[in-house]
A and B are shown apart, each in its own frame.
Chain A
Amino acid sequence: MNYFLHIIVLLNIYIILILGANMTVGMAGLLTLCQAAFYGIGAYIGTMLLMQFDLPFIVIALIVSVITGVFSLLISYASLKLKNDYFTLATLGFQMIIFTILYNWVDVTKGPYGISGIPAIKILGLWSLKGVVPYAIFTAVVMCAMVGIFVALKKSPYGRLLRAIRADETAVKALGRNTSAAKTRAFFLSAAFSGIAGLLYASYVRFIDPTSFTLNESLFIICALFIGGVGNAKGSIAGALFVVILPELLRFIGLPDAVAAPLREIIYGLALVVIMFVRPQGMLGEEMSK
């Protein structure tokens, strides 16, 4: 039962992360490879706040969102100056730099040793979450709130503006819209989503180290997003279900222990390729115009 609930917590965290990626990659069509950097920044800032101050969750979540959002301004700046692959490479650079800082700034982040004994989240400043059951419920509530925010944004005029930018940025500019401001906000929101996922992760696992926030993790998030399908919330949920549940299901098909881990990965890799062949728009994605 606890195992099942643990999967639920991970699933909720990944849904939030993938929604964050969806905000920029899916809605605005800007491919980033630095989601894990924001995830990491959120986790570390969240950890420091949890350890230093006795604040309710909502306050910490707000502070984390704002700080990760401020970091996202660097990426926004890059997106104004660079296009397409150059922009994606800049986000890759940002990912690597953040990882190096988390890994090497031992005074603050404890570097490769990681930070342990992270206190649990307190709701309303008095009721602290203990054990996997409250966390499963609580992360589910946060996840639903995030899905709600995402859907509301998507339906709003702002969401339409982002999707218009994805389709043809020059045309949107020609119609007099400020695309830079729209993109900046998208990055801010995306980073804030990832930051909150990081905060939830840190307080649930109670131990963080930089290896959870690598380039591979960024690639993993982007893959999950594209498998599920970009541009809508149900695609992100499907993607998260796929990448979190599939490895767990493969545990039950009785692979010999010695080869189980690599075989699972191979099946995952094959699934990536096959899905891109069969449904390039992802399982539940919108049909993208070229």
Chain B
Amino acid sequence: MLLQFVINGLITGLLYSLLAIGFALVYNTTKIFHLAAAGLYVVAAYIFYSAVSIFHLPLFAGALVAVAATMGVSLLVDVLVYRPLSKRQSSVNVSLISAVGVLTILVNLVVLVYGNAPKVVENSLKSTYTFGHLILSQPQVWQAVIGLLSVAAFVAFIHYTSWGKRFRALSDDEVLYTTLGYNVNQTRTIVFLLSGAFVAISSCLNVYEVGMDPNMGMNILINALAAMIIGGIGRFEACILGGLTLGLVQSLVLMQLPSSWQTGVTFLILMLFLFFRPQGIAGYKQRTV
């Protein structure tokens, strides 16, 4: 029984990790409080739904279409909204309000096309696998496998290509980064493409199991935000640790309390971290705190 909760929690946590990576890529490098990620999450889910349920693509092809399209929308958000604002050196508040504007637009475009009713990707009973006492559904197995592969790919990308270093350099000091001859816009393009991809992967994996509605984005994003802080702001890989920790704790709380308390407990943990360990489990010590 305990093992079941642990595994369920870790798999949910993996999905938080992926979304947290998507958020942190933008937040760390551009300092924009990227609430529009919640909108991208919803957009990805509905593109996945259309591809599979309306155009009858196979699951994988549908997911690929969704990931590619979300990468495009993510880049579009940066080019049309965030980049011009950064160029004017707008304050954090201004970019936050614009992000809320983008979020509102994206979510309501989805409502306009698909309506408010919940949707499921495939209306069929999913098979389950039994390993001893452990029962995993087919979507959970996909979540675990694809989630782990994506996370591994991300860690490899950050460690074994120069981009990881460049992202960190851009986070530290944009002016210096430009002065040293790096192209900020080009780096941002990569950041937003990658961010869109991770948001979309997290979204597709999640909605394949539980379905979707246009207002789900914000709720999941704040969990990912909590995961990012618990892991440690500023370090990309910390999102993974934070997501897994949060998923695990939430799942163990579910053993004791009704699920409607889950959000409260999540944010209680978040507060404890903010007050007693603001750098998170593995983040850099921040001088400003």
Contact = CB atoms under 8 A, between A and B. Distances in A.
B185 interface: no
B94 A276 contact: yes
Given A273-B98, A276-B85, A280-B94, A97 B289 contact: no
A286 to B, nearest CB: 13
Contacts of B112: 259, 262-263, 266
A270 B271 contact: no
B253 to A, nearest CB: 12
A270 B100 CA distance: 10
Interface string B247-263: 00000000000101101
Contacts of A219: 35, 100
A273 to B, nearest CB: 4
B260 A86 contact: no
B261 A104 contact: yes
Contact of B91 (A222, A268, A280): A280
Contacts of A99: 263
A262 B111 contact: yes
A112 to B, nearest CB: 8
Interface string A80-94: 011111101110111
A290 B89 contact: yes
B88 interface: yes
Given A100-B263, A215-B222, A272 B274 contact: no
Given A265-B104, A265-B108, A97 B90 contact: no
Nearest to B39: A269
A272 B104 contact: yes
A219 B217 CA distance: 15
A288 B108 CA distance: 32
Nearest to B223: A96
Interface residues on B, range: 35 or more
Interface string B90-125: 111111111011111101110110000000000000
Nearest to A272: B101
A227 to B, nearest CB: 8
A103 B35 CA distance: 24
A224 to B, nearest CB: 10
A103 to B, nearest CB: 6
B278 interface: yes
Contacts of B96: 31, 222
A216 interface: yes
A97 B268 contact: yes
Given A78-B274, A280-B88, A100 B260 contact: yes
A245 interface: no
Contacts of A100: 260-261, 263-264, 267
Contacts of B90: 276, 280
Interface of B: 33, 35, 81, 84-85, 88-98, 100-105, 107-109, 111-112, 218, 222, 225-226, 229, 233, 258, 260-261, 263-264, 266-268, 270-271, 274-275, 278, 286, 288-289
22 contacts: A31-B93, A31-B96, A78-B275, A90-B271, A96-B222, A104-B258, A104-B261, A215-B218, A259-B112, A262-B112, A263-B108, A266-B109, A270-B101, A270-B105, A271-B101, A272-B98, A276-B90, A276-B97, A276-B101, A277-B85, A277-B98, A280-B88
Given A89-B274, A93-B226, A215-B218, 11 more contacts: A31-B93, A93-B271, A97-B267, A216-B218, A219-B100, A222-B97, A259-B112, A265-B111, A273-B101, A276-B90, A277-B98
